[in-house]
Amino acid sequence: MCGICGMVTLTPQCRIDEALLKSMCHVIRHRGPDDEGIHLVDWSGGQVALGNRRLSIIDVAGGHQPMSNEDGTVWVICNGEIYNFGDLRDRLIGQGHKLRTRCDTEVLVHLYEEKGTGLLEDLRGMFAFAIWDAEKERLFLARDRLGQKPLTYYIDEEGIVFGSSIKSILQAPRVPRTVNPDALHHYLTFQYVPHPLTMFRGIQKVPPAHYLLYERGRAKVERYWLPAFAEERDVSEAKCVERLRGVLEEATRLRLISDVPLGAFLSGGIDSSIVVGIMSRLSATPVKTFSIGFEEENYDELAYARAAAARFHTDHKEYIVVPKAVEVIPEIVWHFDEPFGDSSAVPTYYVSKITRENVTVALSGDAGDECFAGYPRYNAMRFVGLADRVPRPLKSLLSRVGWGGLSASVDEGRTRRRIKKLLRALAHPASRTSMTWVSILDEDSKRFLYTEDFASEVGGADSHEFIAQYHEMAGKTDFVGRTIFADLMGYLPGDILTKVDIMSMANSLEVRSPFLDHKVVELAAAIPTRLKLRGKTGKYILKRAFGDLLPERIRTRGKRGFSIPIHDWFRHELADYMKDVLLDTATIQRGYLRRKAVERLIEHHMSGKWDNGNRLWLLLMLELWHREFIDRRPRKG
């Protein structure tokens, strides 16, 4: 696990300062505290710079980066892990390549020599890497299939600047710090900035399952992988169970390869319990597991985590998160680079922190919900899919009856608000209706909050387009399948995996999830919805496949999100802090939001009339990000 950065310039006169490259590395040293390496060389059009910070996991002594092939014509820097590197290494040696290390990164250089950009189809892992091909004079950037590792870039007339972190890119003086209004608009919908945008105008993300080729000032971004979702068909449940057990166990085994101590997150949910159960079967010693809880009973899951820990005889540790967590908010804001509105970043930070005090690598259950229909909203999506067949006039009538005015969408409690928004959205395409369940603020609510000037600047930008593209790409599967596909392509990398990567790397911890193995994802995609969602039971086939591992109280428990009691904290311990930030004169003068609209959100939340906790956190993170990254230059780390 590492952090990478670099640049390519287009003219001999545009020289790269070695001090700048080292500054780009230094600002991401938390991603790789063990080692630093740089490579700076001329090419016919200018200069190339590659930088790396390393968290040593495989071949601790020999894995220094950047790495090259035998004659120094191909160089690589990589963030992540290639889990099948052993097989690839043996194959490459058999083809005559000379590998100097046991490190997984080195196989990329030689595999590139054999297959060029086609090497991506052979990789099983999580990664973001950069390859400089001196003979072709091109830069090759690539990101893993599900988007576990971040990769961002900036292109102008002088060349390209790239990195694992936007902070590295911002070290280049020529990169502007200006807000992208469309990105802000989408952030207020999704609580993250969807790819390929970032909150900075001109800086973009390489999307998951894409690569970028940069040759003499020209950039081409291409997709290289897409899971194929199943249409309804006859398929043996027993066969699905057998294949699922085999593929997930293999994916877990591959993720146990490490030269440093390893453990697991254990929430007490289905997914993490299955992962820990498989680990326990494969390990000769007790698995080290880590959980967090809260003083507020409705948010605490430690009883389930303890049940799983007892079932698998793990070496278990716990931590209680309390409202003074506000002390880490500035640290969290700095690490994310962009505003990030999912408040579960706070417990993720803490579980990563206590885990890193004991191990360097942790396995998790991330993506189990997206692969196997674990979210309760998928039940609603079955209704949406059926309703989409209703004649338009009848849908329009239901929509008008269900909608009670704009103020409701801004202020109402979660369940009632979603029901009314769901009914209202029936008049629209089903993909827009599905956004009801993933939107923090819908289009009308945002327009209600915006100042006239900012509404004009955003213009006709519509966040629905980000979701709609994936519903179209999903093919002929049913609507639940299309929704799952959209979550895998959008919500999972934009929210869940961003959160886990940034918060774990903030603590120099590597996190691996067997459910994110692309072979697991492809198998899950091929399983019909009826075997994932049976009645009201999500993850049906997963529970069938691993029922022998799960304690009864975990197997039959309802779904609970990984969240913090921010709604209560904003009414009590953090109320003054929240109001001081959101109603500060400087906040209002940014010109994004109307003061009276923000005051109403706060007033209705404080009175207990409505639950606006998630919206207020969303706005709080936006303002704190603005103060850190726009008002002043980011600190160096």
Nearest CA-CA partner of 160 in 79, 204, 214: 214
Ramachandran category for residue 290: left, alpha or beta (phi over 0 → left; psi -120 to 50 → alpha): beta
CB count within 10 Å of CB 403 equals 18
Residues in the chain: 637
Q: What's the sign of the alpha-carbon dihedral 259, 265, 271, 273? A: positive
Q: Which one of the listed residues 2, 25, 78, 103 is annotated catalytic?
A: 2
Q: Which amino acid is at 465?
A: E
Task: Name, in order, each residue with C-beta under 8 angstroms of 74's C-beta and a sequence gap of 6 or more.
Answer: 68, 109, 112, 113, 131, 132, 133, 134
Q: How far apart are CA 138 and CA 438, in angstroms?
A: 39
User: CB-side exposure of 313: number of CA atoms within 13 Å?
Assistant: 6
Strand partners, 355: none
Short-list 155, 153, 111, CA closest to 133 = 111
The answer to whether residue 2 is catalytic is yes
Strand partners, 361: 262, 510
Structure tokens at 36: 């630093």
- The residue ranges of DSSP E strands in 56-189, in sequence order, are 67-68, 74-82, 125-133, 138-143, 152-156, 159-163
Please give the span between the terminal C-alpha atoms of the chain, in angstroms, as a whole number: 18
Q: Please return the burial class of 542, using the count of CB atoms within 10 Å of its CB with bins 0-12, 13-18 and 19+.
A: buried
Can you count the helices (H) and strands (E) in the chain? 30, 17
Closest CA to 281 of 546, 526, 559: 546
Handedness of CA 546, 551, 557, 563 (dihedral sign): negative
Within 13 A of 389's CA, how many CA atoms are on the CB side?
A: 6
Q: Are 201 and 193 in contact (CB under 8 A)?
A: no
Distance CA 617, CA 18 (A): 40
- For 173, residues 6+ apart whose C-beta sits below 8 A from its C-beta are none
Q: At what angle do helices 181-190 and 613-625 cross, to 10 degrees?
A: 150
Q: Shortest CA distance to 8 belongs to which of 152, 102, 132?
A: 132
**How far is 92 from 88, CA to CA, in rounded Å?**
6
Task: Give buried/exposed letters for 96-134 (b at 16+ CB in 10 A, else e).
Answer: ebebebbbbbbbbbbbbbeeeeebbeebbbbbbbbbbbb
104: tokens are 């997984």
Q: Is the peptide bond before 66 cis (omega within 30 degrees of 0)?
A: yes
Distance between CA atoms of residues 578 and 281, nearest Å: 47
Active site residues: 2
